Amino acid sequence: MSKFEILQTTFARIFSALPDHILRAPGRVNLIGEHTDYNDGFVLPIALDRAVLLAARKRADRVVRMIALDFDGARSEFSLDATIERDDVNGWSNYVRGVAWALQQRGLTLPGLDLAIHGDVPLGAGLSSSAALEVCAVTTFAEIGRLEIGRLEIARVCQQAENEFVGVKSGIMDQFISALAQKGHALLIDCRDLSYQNVPLPRGATIVVCDTAKRRGLVDSAYNTRRAECEQAVRLLAAKIGKPIRALRDVSVQEFARLAQDLPPTIARRARHVITENARVLDAVAAARRNDLAAFGARMDASHVSLRDDYQVSCAELNAMVEIARAQPGCLGARLTGAGFGGCTVNLVEDGAVQAFVVNVAQAYQAQTGLVPQVYACQAMAGAGVVT
């Protein structure tokens, strides 16, 4: 059976009725622009052809009942008429609870729902399965509750849920691309004003994702520490530059080069990554528009070095995967993607070399690490919507 049929059949068995709707929201892979989003910078993600699916049926009362097929049929429920609290046993449910909380914070009236959740976005791999679930949940509440809410506001709701309810101080990129993506394009997002531009993907190359099988928990990682270090860098640089600075986005590469030696070494490394990464994103966009595959790939390579050495969010498995990928014929660029500390790499591979790349990288990585990776070519898909 297809994943749609599995979801529909399971829903009918659990809730004794067919769903009213099945909705989807894609995961994402960020081509370049890592840890820049919460620094008011630039990012360039695509929405993946892997998604979270949500089967839903409206209830007569104000209860939300959920079952997660990907967590062995675990169940959780809450009332929209009571204070919505976290479920520490079923952590996956907090993404649905969080968006319901954030929507009600806006004064919106939500319907009670029966929900079944199923997806093929790898969990804990840095491909934003959590953001996909958040966006899918908001889209579901909006569709069934006939809520007037635009796609940009959907992204804002999901970010608020993640920041204030789940407790991860993420930027808005993951939710943004899941809600607003256009098929065949990357999305250049200015994370300060949330303006965006669709960027056609370079011709002649394929995006290949390599899942290292090294998992990481974002809430428990050093993510929040890195964010605090960036905020400290802003305060120190503002005092030295003598002008208002809201974020590292406001510091040029030239200004930083002049002042880096005056910062504590660790803070300087964190700031250097963010400031130079913003420049790399804009360079990569220019390269994509002129279809300069070599220049695009070179920016990806430089991004990984910066994430590894300056931001220090890589790990042995990610570094091994990148080094193996770069040794393959036709690999134009390779870097870790996502928050780091495990998860996936993203690679730009010449079209004619993709099949051999997928096989050879998987074999070499398993031989070196003992871990069994997932390596797959990707397509850039559209954002969230109703499937049926």
Question: Three-class SS string for 211-248?
Answer: ECCCCCCCCCCCHHHHHHHHHHHHHHHHHHHCCCCCCH
Question: How do beta strands 42-58 and 185-190 pair?
Answer: antiparallel
The token duo for 268 is 């300087």
211 is an active site residue: no
Q: What beta strand segments (E) does the chain contain?
A: 21-32, 42-58, 63-68, 74-79, 113-119, 185-190, 196-200, 205-211, 331-337, 344-350, 374-378, 385-386
What is the b/e burial string over 122-137, where b = at least 16 CB atoms within 10 angstroms of the residue's CB? Answer: bebbbbbbbbbbbbbb
Cα separation, 55 vs 15, in Å, equals 11
Neighbouring residues of 77: CB distance < 8 A, sequence distance ≥ 6: 63, 64, 65, 66
Q: How far apart are CA 293 and CA 333, in angstroms?
A: 9
Residues 6 or more apart from 362 whose CB is under 8 A from it? Answer: 372, 373, 375
Which position among 174, 211, 250, 301 bears the catalytic label? 174
Closest CA to 68 of 1, 144, 137: 137
């808005």: which residue's tokens?
A: 172
Mind telling me the catalytic residues?
174
